[in-house]
Structures are given as structure tokens and as C-alpha cells.
Structure 1
């Protein structure tokens, strides 16, 4: 069962994910610095930069959505517990001597050449993670094995690999653009229905926002992402799930059908048509017409342990305004 989170807290997590650096810094500069670091570690380890970017982005998003680990302070997001870094048997958990860290089987390395294996060094941290993966190999399958042995969680591995594929396809890191899920020129309406009671299929709350529109109105991807799920659900009817680069899972339900070429594992971008508004669901495959045509749109957040629903309404309003501004500029 997905966990429901308070709308206010979830909104803060989402907004943080849209800007991972302080307001005083230029995001474009941060992306450039990260890419430079990924390419530098790639040159030394032969691990493709987009896998390193996927790992770093996954860890950064996890840290943003949890309170039990500190927020990232540098340009990278990978987190090691002090005992992992220095070695579980190391009497000094703050040890920065690479020789003694290696003696106690710690993961920490001195990669920037300053004589210290420091958790405060982005290069030391990223290179140390890459060095762990090197023991498994640098090809896709062996990197997946290494990731599983580190995280011990299939979903974490899947999310990271998905991010890597997205970064590889677009060749850049600045993939934070969004789009409203239906064309602005269409006849649609919506209000905030997240958390409302639902009775069909048992007592539960509404985990999304309903956007009412005519049958067959195009439904569009709202973000850069990868299609994780496509098919039928007795509640949601024909539905699609897309995972973006910020560990958010975008859920589109009650569709009339899917875009012909859409497949699981396909990479999408904001505004790309993925299906049509419908009234499918609340029964066995093919059931339709039990309610007016509309798109059920939900967002879920993964924090490295579990996944919860949060209110998409504020983001829909934001993306709607952004699309209107873009339309006026054309």
C-alpha cells in the first residue's frame, strides 16, 4: 500500500527537487560543475558518466525527502555513513587517512590529491562510490549487480538505471522542465480533489487530481522520464506510470487508450502525447463508461525505503501557468 503524505511537506520536497542548490548560485553553473566531475571520474574508472549522474541524482533526491540523513552540502548528493566511509571497525569514525581507512576496509578514498579522504570532498565521495562499483565491472549488467549489492533494493536499482538511460539519451543534466497533462486549447476543468474519500473498492482516499475533459483529448507526459508501467488496473483502467529524474512517479489513469508506439522502458519528455482522456476502470479489462471522461493524475515520491502519494494540484497549477507563458511567447 502506498503511504499518503501531507501535502505541505510533499510540496516542499518537490520544490526542493526542482532547485538543488541555493538561490545565490546559478543552476546552470552547478550542472556544468557536476558534469565536469562525472566526466573526470568516468575518465579514471571507465564507468559511463550517465550512471554516475543517475546514482548521484537518486541519492540527492533521497536526502531531500528524508529527515534521518543530512542534506547534501556540495554539488553531489551521495551519502555515506561515517562508519561506512572510515570502516566499521575503525576506532575513529571521522578518520580521513586513506591508509588506515583502507586497513579497516572503509570505502573512503583520496581522489582529489589533497592527502585526505574526506566526506566533504565531492570528488572523493563520487570516486569512492565508483571504485566500489569497479569491483563488479563497468558494463551495464555488472553495474546493475554492483548497485543491487550496495542498495539491496530492486526499486532503487531500477530508478537509478532509468535515470542513467534518460541522461544518456538527452546528454545533459538540466531536465527539470514540465508540461500540463492536457493541451491548454482543449476544454478541461479541474479542482483540488486530493485526499477526498473514495468508496469503490473499499474505503480509501483519492490519491490525485481529476482533470475533466472530452473523451479522447490528448494526454501528455508532464516531465522528462521513463515509462515504468503501462496496462490495466481494475481501479484506474488503462493507465501509465512514468518515473522522472527526481524520484517522482507520475500516474495517469482512466485513459481511453495509449499512443500506438508507447512502450514500457520508453523515454519521454514534457508535452509528448502518451494517450487520451477516457472513462476506463472500475471493473475487469475493457470496462468503461461508469463515470464521465477524465484524467486521474497522481504523483508519488520514493525516498529509498517506500513511496507515498502527495498532492499534485499545486504543481498542475504551476505547469498550467508556465505553459500559458510559453504559448504567449510563440
Structure 2
């Protein structure tokens, strides 16, 4: 902990994270469940990334974007859970000033990057279904790489602005954050300065990075469903709907809590509800995403079987299969 002696008073620059629902009577059980969720998310997203990398049949724009989504989810859940679990079992709930700013920056960067990437994934499905003859030209490897870089850079730049602005305010209240991670709006409640202008900028940013992408996603899927309804092949229709339903499910899991966190009136925002929504977005969703895409995707299941069979010794082939 960094401290300075000023007029015989100890002033600390560290913050105290009060944690997830500190009044909850069975907190040990909850933390253990979150730890299991973390391991499941790490395993699921890592396996999905490796499958897409190892199996040549998954070397397509859709799965390249999906691998980036798994990478973001893997990083997102790792920004909060390890620190939360470490604080709980060590009994030390502090986080340094730099650590707090770092956590805010990465959680915002990854959240915004995921929002942009989900929008690009819906555009990929729109081109594949509504304009299949030009798909290989429009969704070339170069374009896909630029899309991914744009998502990361867009998230990082927006996050850097918000993080720098939130961290420059002086703290005049007890440095206790009622959260399991450093979050910008929770941190700003510790300052005595007027933050109304910043709150307005958060609303504007939320509109740009949440509502506009969501409207683009809904537009893409409206056009997709109109195209699917005109398909003569039931098999092609079912395949398109299965792929799109997985993505729409992930979109709902991500955008629902995000809208409730950033677009609700200030009077309805309570620490407990915010923590619940953040836990869903930053902890549960990264675990659910690979399950949704793997269990509902025949190509991913086939790739998993192929990798398992190829890694099995010849004598144990029957057991493995």
C-alpha cells in the first residue's frame, strides 16, 4: 500500500474494493462458484480458439471473428475475477491507484471492442446470406484483419479518454468502492466535484457504442430473415437460422445488461443491481459464449471430433471415438 505522511496523518493512494455483495451470508460458496465459472470460461474459450486455429475447415471469416470474440471474452473475465478471488482469500481488499486505472481501462476497452466485434459479425452473416456471390471479395482476410484491429483500437481509444478523465478527479470521500472491480462511475462517486458533464458524456458514448451498433445488428438481421424467408431450400434455411440464432443469443446476453448499466436513469442505479449486471456481463457471458457457439454449431463439433481423433494413438482410436 502506498502511503504518505502529511501533518502526522497517513494518506493512502490505494482504494478498497468492498467486493461482491459483502453482506451475503454464503460468500465463500459464491466465490467458489465464480472461480469454477472462471475456469470453465478460460477452458471453453481457449479450446474454441485452438479448434479454429488447428482445423482448416474453420479458416473462414466467420470463425476468425469468432476466435477474436473468444480472445476478448478470455481477457475480459481475467480483468476482474483473479483480483476479486485473490482479495477474498487473502483478506486484503485494496487495489492501487494505478491498478484501479488499469482495470478500468482494460474492462472498458474489452467491453467496447466486443460490442464493435459483435456488430461486424452480424455484417459478416448479412454478406454471407444476402450477398453470397461477393462474400469472398468483401470479407477477404485483409478486410477481416482490419475489422478486428478497428474493434480493438476503437475500444482502446474510447476507454483511454474515459479512464484518463475519471482518474484525474481528486478523491474527497473514504476510498471505498462498493464493487468487485474498479468501475468508472463507482469511482467518481468518491469525488466531491461536479461530474454532471462527465455523466452526460457517458450517456453520449453509450449511445454511440451500444445503441448504434445494436440498431445496425437488428437491421442486418431483419434483412437476413427477409432473405431466409425467400429461400427454397429448407436445409439452407435451417443452417442460416441456426448460425444466426447463436449470434443473436450472444448479442442479447451482451447488450441487455450493457443497456441497463449505462442507459438507466441515475435515480434507478443501485450498487447491488449494478454489481449483478456487471457480474453477468463480465463473468457469466464469457463462459456462455463458447458454449452457445460450440453446442449449436455442427462445424465446431465436427472440428472437435477431428482434433480428438487425430491426437489419439492408433491403438486407442476406438476408445477415443
Calculate the TM-score normalised by the size of structure 2: 0.26
Which structure shows the higher helix fraction?
2
Which structure shows the higher strand fraction?
1
Q: Which has the higher contact order (CA 8 A, sep 6+)?
A: 2
Calculate the TM-score normalised by the size of structure 1: 0.26
